[in-house]
């Protein structure tokens, strides 16, 4: 029961985030935002879909069970979610699942961004590593932590480059 409850909560959360991202995308595009790395975004979406499929498959086909440390792991996830939504709320209309940059805007430096450069990505790293561990899905945790590292490393490099280029345009 806990497995499906958590899965449904995560699915509803992702759907609501996509709705927020779509609304924010329309807003910032109307303000002149430029999108970076459209193809890379598709890879991220595919990886996240594969993560959920792997998680479900490992749980059922390998007959995984609830980890004895599940309360601690669930607490870690709740804290990661708090960080994630603090980041989303701090970015406001600028938060998105895509890399969208408006020339002439300053970087957000409030909320968790005062302390961490990419708090939302940190929350995602924690989620992907820890959610499967709640149900002893070690293969999914290790495999997708590795895939996520590769994908986020590339994405952060592109995002930083886009933000730096726009920052340099502001200073001209």
36's enclosing H/E stretch is strand 34-36
pLDDT at 54 over 70: yes
- Give the confidence band of 105 by pLDDT, cuts at 50, 70, 90: confident
Please state the pTM of the whole predicted model: 0.91
Q: What percent of the chain has a predicted confidence (pLDDT) above 90?
A: 90
Give the pLDDT mean for 22-47.
96
Percent of the chain with pLDDT over 70: 96
- What integer is the mean pLDDT of 153-161? 95
User: Whole-angstrom Cα distance, residue 159 to residue 56?
Assistant: 31
pLDDT for 171 beyond 70? no
DSSP string for 112-133: GGGT-S-HHHHHHHHHHHHHHH
For residue range 119-132, list pLDDT tens digits in order: 999 999 999 999 99
Q: 137-144, long-range: CB within 8 Å, 24+ apart, which pairs?
A: 137/54, 137/55, 137/58, 137/59, 137/62, 137/64, 139/54, 139/58, 139/62, 140/51, 140/54, 140/55, 140/58, 143/54, 144/47, 144/50, 144/51, 144/54
Task: Go through the domains of the chain in sequence order and give each one's CATH number.
Answer: 2-170 (1.20.120.1630)
Whether 84 has a pLDDT exceeding 50, the answer reads yes
């Amino acid at each position: 029961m806990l497995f499906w409850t958590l899965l449904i909560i995560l699915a509803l959360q992702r759907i609501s985030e996509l709705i927020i991202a779509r609304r924010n995308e329309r807003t910032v595009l109307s303000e002149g935002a430029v999108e970076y790395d459209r193809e890379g975004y598709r890879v991220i979406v595919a990886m996240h879909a594969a993560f959920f499929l792997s998680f479900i498959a490992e749980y059922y086909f390998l007959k995984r069970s609830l980890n004895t440390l599940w309360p601690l792991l669930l607490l870690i996830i709740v804290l990661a979610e708090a960080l994630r939504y603090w980041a989303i709320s701090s970015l406001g209309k600028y938060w998105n699942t895509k890399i969208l940059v408006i020339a002439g805007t300053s970087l957000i430096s409030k909320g968790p961004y005062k302390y961490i450069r990419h708090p939302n990505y940190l929350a995602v790293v924690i989620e992907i590593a820890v959610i499967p561990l709640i149900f002893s899905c070690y293969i999914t945790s290790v495999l997708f932590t590795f895939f996520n590292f590769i994908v986020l490393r590339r994405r952060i490099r592109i995002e930083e480059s886009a933000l730096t280029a726009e920052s340099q345009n502001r200073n001209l």
